[in-house]
Amino acid sequence: MGLFDKKYSAVTASTFTPQNEQEAWIAIMHACIAVDEDIADEELDELAETLAYKDFFEGHNVREYYKAVLLAHAKIGSKQLIDNSVEYISPESKNTLFALTIELLLADEVLADKEKELIGYLTSALDIEEEIADSIVDKKLKQHKGNEGV
């Protein structure tokens, strides 16, 4: 087993286990923007801004978390990445994570069919009530009103 295999053995396996809630957030956010296999620059910019400025990530090595998430996503895909991460999300953080994820998906002003489908999947995975999810989505869509493709 090489150095790379030792360092990333948990990531390259068929499953992914976040080290903590912060890595779980990154996994879920990445899973959502990568589901359509076309991560727009605007989505990456929005994600980078979130990771850089949200106090929740302060003091955490988000670069290492993201490396692990990228490797895991390549192996297991978006839905499995979400499934493996949701249990690490605290109940009081679920709505905030969902709202930020919607922001990420709307950053490029295009909401692809796969992204729309994954929003429903994420709602269920995070166990967010449908009325609350609808309210969050409506609010975010109004903020982006007038954008083409949304």
Q: Please report the domains of the chain, with CATH numbers, ordered by start residue.
A: 3-143 (1.10.3680)
Q: How far apart are CA 104 and CA 44, in angstroms?
A: 8
pTM of the predicted protein model: 0.86
> For residue range 26-49, what is the model confidence (pLDDT) as tens digits?
999 999 999 988 899 999 999 999
CA R_g for the chain: 15
| Per-residue tokens: 32 | 């959502």
Distances (CA, A) of 130 to 88, 91, 103, 119: 21, 16, 18, 11
Percentage with pLDDT > 70 across the chain: 87
Average pLDDT of 90-108?
96
